[in-house]
Amino acid sequence: MEKAYKLLAVQEKISNKEAKKLIDDGYVFHTGRKIKIARADMPLNTVFKIHKPKDSKVLYEDKDLIAVEKPFGVNSYDLEKKYKAELIHRLDKTTSGIVLLSKNEEFKNKAVEEFKAQRVKKEYIAIVNGTFAETMTIEEPIMTTKGSGVARSRVDKFGKEATTIVTPLEVLEKKTKLKVEILTGRTHQIRVHLQHVGFPILGDTAYDGRDAKRIFLHAHKIAIFDKEITSPEPKEFTLSE
């Protein structure tokens, strides 16, 4: 037996530090399951697979705005340096889809006000285990706490108001693909609300979802001012026999 990160370092011919970071970032799998503990003891003949993030790409650009398709596993803040623009909003590292960046402070301030006023339309695609039968509006308040730099949210009567509209799109083999619209923007809102109604997102183990190679949540569409931008759902979101 040997530590997972040390076995990975040998397999990939990289340093122990690089191997540990790959595991900590959630990119390393064995027999389809994510390796979560870099120091876990594993057999010497273990073979790992590495799923690194894809490259981000520009979906729309004008003199004020850049809309970027952020892959799963990429930190939103890393996009600022790459595109030399400021984030207007952000997505969790584990969520893929549309992120908006501003090229100037004036436009950023206007856009942020649109978000605060709840005039920005945000539509996501999610996959959950189970059969989600009909459209549902979830209006449970959400409270977020932070410890050791990690945010954690929950439904709590003393939390902030939050509204999520969930519509089933497709059901296959006890999995449901959902369209999810949020009228507010609370931390982990979709993840918490779907957990609360008994349908945690596939791969979202932090909120009781079944383990998978990623969290199946994608920011599919956003409409702000007179612009509507769409990011196609990732190919792994296709429900198949």
Please indicate whether residue 62 is annotated as part of the active site. no
Class of residue 83 by CB neighbours under 10 A (exposed 0-12, middle 13-18, buried 19+): middle
d(CA 42, CA 127): 31
Judged by DSSP in three states, 215 sits in coil
Class of residue 119 by CB neighbours under 10 A (exposed 0-12, middle 13-18, buried 19+): exposed
Cα–Cα nearest to 52, from 72, 34, 37, 32: 72
Which one of 25, 41, 55, 92 is the catalytic residue? 92
Say if residues 138 and 166 touch (Cβ distance below 8 Å). Answer: yes
Task: Please report, in angstroms and rounded to a whole number, the separation of the first and last CA atoms in the chain.
Answer: 37
How do 96-102 and 217-224 pair as beta strands? parallel
Paired strand residues for 224: 227
- For residue 187, give Cα distances in angstroms to 39, 137, 183: 30, 18, 13
Chain centre distance of CA 207: 13
Phi, psi torsion values for 94, nearest 5 degrees: -85, 0
**Beta-carbon contacts of residue 137 (< 8 Å; ≥ 6 apart):** 163, 164, 165, 166
Which residues participate in catalysis according to the annotation?
A: 92
